[in-house]
Amino acid sequence: MSRVVVITGASAGLGEQIALELGRRGDSLVLAARTLEALERVAGAAGARTHVVRADVTRRADVERIRDEALRVFGHVDVWINNAGKGIVRPVLSLTDEDVDEMMAVNLKSALYGMQTIAPHFMARGTGHIVNISSFLARVPVATPRSAYSAAKAALNTLTANLRIDLRRTHPGIHVSLVMPALVTTDFPLHATGSAGAVPPGAIGSPQTPQTPQDVAVMVADLLDHPVAEIYTNPASRALAARYFDDVGQYEAEGPGSGSPPRPVQ
């Protein structure tokens, strides 16, 4: 059955690949980003009923306009994917106020605006699916120069979980899912604040094998068919997170590549 899916940050990278995969599966798409030309290119390649909205998702009014355009064109929304994000390459002691404000605005507040904007529509219908694209770095800090990005995504994880619990109590037909990719081979690192260029695989200190954005997009599309609370897109992520939370001090002393298995939870 065809769904109406809104995707923010849809002009490139993972957002583009999610759009292409969902378009291939027959979904109708509302694609939002700041660059209209890139959005139109993605829409043309998606091969589905698409509508593009030029928007800055750090502005609440723009996010509300995305919703309004989706309702005007398609009459309803089934899925809202908060995918827009931006990275940073700056350790904690070098962060400026502007760095932190930008990371929170792009990676946290934009998703908050999306959740608050679409939830009333889903609540009125009694059904819907909110998907927040986070990061493995929100769980395990294996890339210290990504400090404020990791912090913003960790906050996103917490907001997502709280919304899911709230809606489960009152509107069990609405799903709220968290997606945590690890290393993905996109141009995302090139556009990070403070970036000096691409980050080679393994540079963040994790033994995880990089994934293609196409691989992750398939997992996101499958998540829409079979909703769950959260997914790690990389098979190695869950074990690494378990080892980290089992003994943070030991994990940080040994490093993520030590290969020590997680100890049983007491």
**How far apart are alpha carbons 151 and 53 in whole angstroms?**
29
pLDDT in tens, 27-58: 999 999 999 999 999 999 998 799 999 999 99
**How far apart are alpha carbons 178 and 155 in whole angstroms?**
12
Query: Where along the chain do its domains lie?
Result: 4-235, 239-266
The answer to which of 173-177, 207-211, 241-245, 246-250 has the lowest mean pLDDT is 207-211
pLDDT in tens, 170-213: 999 999 999 999 988 766 666 567 655 544 444 444 556 889 99
Residue 238 has pLDDT above 70, yes or no: yes
Which residues have CB under 8 Å from 100's CB, separation 6+? 148, 151
| CATH 3.40.50.1110, applies to 4-235 | no
By residue count, the chain amounts to 266
Taking phi first (over 0 means left), then psi (-120 to 50 degrees means alpha), and beta for anything else, what does residue 248 get?
Answer: alpha
**How far apart are alpha carbons 130 and 179 in whole angstroms?**
11
pLDDT in tens, 139-154: 999 899 999 999 999 9
- What's the CA dihedral at 197, 198, 200, 204 to 10 degrees? 80
The β-bridge relationship of strands 28-33 and 4-8 is parallel
| Consecutive H or E run containing 5 | strand 4-8
- The whole-number pLDDT of residue 258 equals 58
pLDDT in tens, 2-12: 899 999 999 99
pLDDT in tens, 109-137: 999 999 999 999 999 999 999 999 999 99
Instruction: Calculate mean pLDDT across residues 157-182.
Output: 97
- The whole-number pLDDT of residue 148 equals 97
Residues assigned a catalytic role:
149, 153
